[in-house]
Chain A
Amino acid sequence: MKTLKKNFLEILRYPSAVIGGAVILILIGIAICTVIAIPYQKAITLWRGGEEIWYRNPKNAAPEWLNWFTSKKKPLSFVINESEGNLVKVVEPEDNGTNHVTLTYTFDYNYDAFPQEIALYFTAKYDQKQPFASLIWKTPDGRSIQFGGFGVSSKQTYRLSQDFNLMNSMGGVNPMEGLFTGIDSREPVKGTYQLIVNGITFEKDDDLNAEFVLQGQLYGWAGTDHMRRDLTIALLWGIPIALIFGLVASLGTLVLTMIIAAIGVWYSGWVDELIQRITEVNLVLPFLSILIMVGTFYSRSLWVILGVTILLSIFTGSIKSYRAIFMQVRESLYIEAARAYGASDLRIIFRYLIPRMIPLLIPGLVSSVPTYVFLEASLAVLGLGDPVLPTWGKIIDDAWVNGALYKGYYYWILEPAALLMVTGLAFALLGFALDRVFNPRLRGM
């Protein structure tokens, strides 16, 4: 206990260890919050969900905070429906059972660029005859543009940019630009806009509702990908996955390596010989190729890959260095004493041999975490990431496959890359300091 405390105080003397440790603690904290806030199943449904979950989001939108750094503000995304935004619904019944439904959406638009898309998601209740809707667009400078005029089915999407009549009436300009530009400028007019839906329902109990969605060029804290998904989910869920994968792989590998090395040294003879031969065979095996093969042929599940990674990492060069240390430990007096009092083989291995190695193990444990974190990302970049889980590697892969760098969606790659880098560096920094604390031979250097 005393040496532990001494070691701990010693570690605090290294600024790199303090920084690294703090970052790791923060990451663990975020990971726990994420898992509680977005449970596993929910994260997967969200990440695997298609348009019906993410239809409100723009495609490939950069994060909102980019606006803080530019003078030209890009439009954010927002929604107007019954629960949020300024929507006024007026129903005027007429004698013959028809109703006039007027939906007025009012919003401020103070941006210097045009939105990606404006869409109305209609829901209509009718028996036989479809309700009819026409639209009026009112700009801050007092113009009003009429368009639309269509029957609304029970669930219908109307995208303004896809309306070719509207486009033609504006002289072939994309409606997203045409609706916002002034009479003789190419810049969007700032101010309060209104979109009015004039609906007519033809039967007594009919109803017409619509959700107004403006998909801007920016979205949320992390932006969105090509499937409109909010990257925040994958970035946040990437933390627990990366930490678990890294820690389990590193811990599993080191502990198993140590146990096997200890068993080999203790029993010596053919056991030791076998372990040595297996190590040599493993050197011949192509590690990454085998992982890729397992990913391609057997299963792309993260946990299978994790198991294979551990299995292949046991019999490597480190088993030889452990063996060399155990050889020295085996000759020490206290082992002799344990033998003399009649301790069993297993007792000696697990009670006397292995505990001696634990201090040596800790730095290696911490500093090999980044390797495995990046390994998961590497496999994902090869397209072998877990098909279900949202991970950082998956984001990079998606971004890469969809040409994010060619198209200029830099945030898409930089966000997961930054998180990978921070995680990797934190463990590397801490491991580095631990190595100096626990391996006194390096301390002077």
Chain B
Amino acid sequence: MTSEVAVGADAAKKKSSASTLARVSRYVAVRVVTLFATVVVGVYLTIMIANMGGYVDQIMRNDIQEQVIQQVANDPAAKKMAPDVRKQLIEERVALEVKRRGLDTPVIVRNFRYLINDLQLNLGFATLMTSDSGSRQVRLIILERLPATLLLMGTSELSLFFFSVFLALTLSRRYGSLWDKLTIALSPTSAAPAWFYGIFLILIFAALLKVLPFGGLVDTPPPSNPIDFVFSVLKHLTLPAFSLIISSLFLSIYNWRTFFLIYSSEDYVDMAKAKGLTSRDIERRYILRPTLPTIITNFALLLISVWQGAIITETVFQWPGLGRTLFRAIGFFDTPVIVGSTIIYAYLLAITVFLLDIIYALVDPRVKVGGGNQT
């Protein structure tokens, strides 16, 4: 993502006459334009796939046809009608429904309309799905699911991040120890995805020991007492969160540990050791500081990954989050919901990347901004 940032010093020298402000603002402008273009193209591709160049239309038309025929057949008033009147009624209703879902305009036009509306975060209406409160607004559908996903992903991703960074730092200080070797030995377990561990956890804790629920967000009916409610949610949260954590914990620790080890084998760390600094000081000043940009990047990307939810883990645990909603939306061919979810992720990603670029450019002395001309 930092290809426009020229690290080379020569290029920077040539432009040294230009003021810093102009340089930075030009850099910012270029960055905003490229990122926006990326978002536009990415979202357009998603719209294309979600529409399949018209194939979904055909499915939906057939669906509407079938539904209307069913409705008319079940309508006692329609039974008394003459066949041709009934046929006309069916046709009218089909046409109305087709118009309501916007299927009467060509796919290309519709795609661009979606694109422009979505880029303005005007997410529109779902074709079939409704929120629990009964609204068809994509915004409401997504907002309704957001807390559950934030709770699950937030808990697991944050604890995963802090656990692994902290443990990795500890391990890197005494590598070669038994714990270190154990972590290395366990890191291949991360090859399996979270739902896989989820199944095992359900088997052990829900099916065999019967101490935790199989899935869902709260007990049914939800406890009226707020304390019981929180307790019930926590009980339901334990297994999915734990399976998300366990599935990537060891590899994550291993990666961070290796990363810290590379930095702690630098000469200046040896120098600091020779000076007799405490290991705490060395860690803070000479290991954590140079690795901070990477840690920040990882943390930022982690925060936005929370948005997407965990489609399969949520499905396996029947967790009513965004991931499961997205999966259901795909099952319903509900393009607005799919695209709505994608565009928000795309924006979040673009904004994060942009902010990170700017922060690096301002903070890290090794990155010189706007000096390079792209080749």
- A445's contact among B261, B315, B341, by CB below 8 Å, is which? B261
A147 to B282 CA separation, bound complex (whole angstroms): 88
Q: Is the CB of A276 within 8 A of B311?
A: no
Q: Is the C-beta of B32 less than 8 angstroms from some C-beta in chain A?
A: no
A284 to B311 CA separation, bound complex (whole angstroms): 17
- B45's contact among A281, A298, A378, A425, by CB below 8 Å, is which? A281
Q: Is the C-beta of B42 less than 8 angstroms from some C-beta in chain A?
A: yes
A374 to B56 CA separation, bound complex (whole angstroms): 29
Q: Is the C-beta of A325 less than 8 angstroms from some C-beta in chain B?
A: no
Residues of chain B lying within 8 A (CB to CB) of residue A358: none
Q: Is the CB of A286 within 8 A of B375?
A: no
- B196's contact among A405, A420, A442, by CB below 8 Å, is which? A420
- B349's contact among A284, A370, A421, A442, by CB below 8 Å, is which? A284
Residues of chain A lying within 8 A (CB to CB) of residue B191: 367, 370-371, 374, 424-425, 427-428
Q: Is the C-beta of B164 less than 8 angstroms from some C-beta in chain A?
A: no
Query: Nearest residue in B to A441 (C-beta to C-beta)?
Result: B262
Q: Is the CB of A294 within 8 A of B312?
A: no
Residues of chain B lying within 8 A (CB to CB) of residue A428: 187-191
Query: Nearest residue in A to B347 (C-beta to C-beta)?
Result: A284
Q: Is the C-beta of B27 less than 8 angstroms from some C-beta in chain A?
A: no
Residues of chain B lying within 8 A (CB to CB) of residue A285: 42, 45-46, 342
Q: Is the C-beta of B326 less than 8 angstroms from some C-beta in chain A?
A: yes
Residues of chain B lying within 8 A (CB to CB) of residue A367: 191
Residues of chain B lying within 8 A (CB to CB) of residue A445: 175, 258, 261
Q: Is the CB of A281 within 8 A of B195?
A: no
Q: Is the CB of B38 within 8 A of A420?
A: no
Residues of chain B lying within 8 A (CB to CB) of residue A424: 188, 191-192
Residues of chain A lying within 8 A (CB to CB) of residue B316: 381, 400
CB-CB contacts below 8 Å: B183-206 with A: 184-185, 187-193, 195-196, 199-200, 202-203, 206
A292 CB, nearest partner CB in chain B, Å: 5
Q: Given A378-B195, A405-B214: A289 and B342 within 8 A (CB)?
A: yes
Q: Is the C-beta of B41 less than 8 angstroms from some C-beta in chain A?
A: yes
Q: Is the CB of B49 within 8 A of A290?
A: yes
Q: Which of A269, A277, A284, A425 has the most CB of B within 10 A?
A: A284
A290 to B342 CA separation, bound complex (whole angstroms): 10
A305 to B203 CA separation, bound complex (whole angstroms): 30
Q: Given A296-B330, A297-B55: A286 and B199 within 8 A (CB)?
A: no
Interface string of A272-292 (1 = CB under 8 A from B): 010011001111111011101
Residues of chain A lying within 8 A (CB to CB) of residue B342: 284-286, 289
Q: Is the C-beta of B138 less than 8 angstroms from some C-beta in chain A?
A: no
Q: Given A284-B345, A284-B349, A293-B49: A374 and B193 within 8 A (CB)?
A: yes
CB-CB contacts below 8 Å: A377-435 with B: 377-378, 381-382, 396, 400, 405-406, 408, 410, 413-414, 417, 420-421, 424-425, 427-429, 431-432
Name the interface size band of chain B: 35 or more
Q: Given A284-B39, A294-B49, A297-B56: A405 and B192 within 8 A (CB)?
A: no
Q: Is the CB of B50 within 8 A of A293?
A: yes
Q: Is the C-beta of B308 less than 8 angstroms from some C-beta in chain A?
A: yes
Q: Given A294-B49, A406-B214: A281 and B42 within 8 A (CB)?
A: yes
CB-CB contacts below 8 Å: B302-358 with A: 308, 311-312, 315-316, 326-327, 330-331, 333, 338, 341-342, 345-346, 349-350
A420 to B203 CA separation, bound complex (whole angstroms): 17
Q: Is the CB of B312 within 8 A of A381?
A: yes
Residues of chain A lying within 8 A (CB to CB) of residue B56: 297
Query: Nearest residue in A to B346 (C-beta to C-beta)?
Result: A284
Q: Is the CB of A378 within 8 A of B42?
A: no
- A381's contact among B35, B184, B195, by CB below 8 Å, is which? B195
Q: Is the CB of A288 within 8 A of B311?
A: yes
Q: Given A377-B196, A382-B311, A442-B258: A286 and B46 within 8 A (CB)?
A: yes
A382 to B315 CA separation, bound complex (whole angstroms): 8
Q: Is the C-beta of A268 less than 8 angstroms from some C-beta in chain B?
A: yes
Q: Given A276-B3, A370-B191: A284 and B38 within 8 A (CB)?
A: yes
A112 to B187 CA separation, bound complex (whole angstroms): 44
Residues of chain B lying within 8 A (CB to CB) of residue A377: 196
Residues of chain B lying within 8 A (CB to CB) of residue A297: 49, 52, 55-56, 333
A96 to B38 CA separation, bound complex (whole angstroms): 91
Q: Which of A276, A289, A400 has the most CB of B within 10 A?
A: A289
- B52's contact among A298, A371, A441, by CB below 8 Å, is which? A298
Query: Nearest residue in B to A286 (C-beta to C-beta)?
Result: B342
Q: Given A370-B191, A442-B258: A382 and B327 within 8 A (CB)?
A: yes
Q: Is the CB of A405 within 8 A of B49?
A: no
CB-CB contacts below 8 Å: B155-194 with A: 175, 184-185, 187-193
Q: Is the CB of B46 within 8 A of A290?
A: yes
A180 to B362 CA separation, bound complex (whole angstroms): 84
A236 to B242 CA separation, bound complex (whole angstroms): 31
Q: Is the CB of B207 within 8 A of A405?
A: yes
Measured CB to CB, the residues of A under 8 A from B are 16, 268-269, 273, 276-277, 280-286, 288-290, 292-294, 296-298, 367, 370-371, 374, 377-378, 381-382, 396, 400, 405-406, 408, 410, 413-414, 417, 420-421, 424-425, 427-429, 431-432, 441-442, 445
Q: List 30 A-B contacts (CB under 8 A).
A: A277-B34, A277-B37, A277-B38, A280-B35, A283-B349, A286-B308, A286-B341, A289-B341, A292-B311, A293-B49, A293-B52, A293-B330, A293-B338, A296-B333, A297-B52, A297-B55, A298-B55, A367-B191, A374-B196, A381-B195, A382-B311, A382-B315, A382-B327, A405-B203, A410-B203, A417-B199, A417-B200, A425-B188, A425-B191, A442-B258
- The 4 A-B residue pairs whose C-beta atoms are closest, nearest first, are A284-B42, A428-B188, A370-B191, A424-B191
